[in-house]
């Protein structure tokens, strides 16, 4: 089957990420490697209180990954996520090539600090004179 373009938002155990960020990210890379996925960009996105407790977890870290993977590996990917002790939840989306390119590039810029190199905002229009 052909390679498809995916976005996955993981909700990870934030305590484990705080104590070992490189190990946690390595765990996610290993999970994706089991499915022969090619990671395009990834980054921690947001940490905070969950809307409701999930398996006793009240806080979580949202971790965003864009990757290419054979579509036939989705069931394996889901199974590996369920078996992984760091992954509280995950949501997998398939994207069109154009949207995938925009989103993965944006995440890569965000993590490298390139978002600060964007064009400056236009100057505000002068205030109208009171009549």
Q: How far apart are CA 98 and CA 13, in angstroms?
A: 32
Q: For the chain, what is the domain count?
A: 1
pLDDT at 72: 93
Longest dimension (CA), the chain: 70
What is the per-residue pLDDT across 80-124, written as a single tens digit (0 to 9) for each? 999 999 999 999 999 988 988 888 888 888 776 654 444 444 444
What percentage of the chain carries pLDDT values higher than 90?
57
- Nearest to residue 7, comparing CAs of 34, 47, 39, 30? 39
Residue 130 lies in a domain: no
Q: Is residue 126 part of a domain?
A: no
Structural domain contains residue 26: yes
> How much is the pLDDT for 1?
62
pLDDT of residue 105: 86
Contact assessment for residue 12 and residue 88, using Cβ atoms and an 8 Å cutoff:
yes
pTM of the model: 0.78
Has residue 123 been placed in a domain? Answer: no
Range of the domain at 71: 3-114
């Amino acid at each position: 089957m052909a390679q498809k373009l995916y976005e996955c938002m993981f909700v990870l155990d934030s305590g484990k990420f705080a104590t070992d960020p490189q190990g946690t990210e390595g765990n996610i890379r290993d999970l994706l490697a089991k499915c022969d996925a090619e990671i395009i960009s990834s980054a921690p996105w947001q940490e905070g209180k969950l809307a409701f407790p999930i398996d006793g977890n009240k806080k979580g870290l949202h971790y965003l990954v864009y990757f290419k993977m054979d579509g036939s590996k989705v069931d394996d990917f889901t199974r590996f996520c369920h078996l992984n002790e760091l992954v509280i939840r995950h949501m997998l989306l398939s994207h069109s090539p154009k949207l995938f390119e925009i989103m993965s590039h944006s995440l890569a810029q965000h993590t490298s600090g390139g978002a600060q190199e964007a064009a400056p905002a236009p100057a505000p229009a002068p205030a109208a004179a009171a009549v």
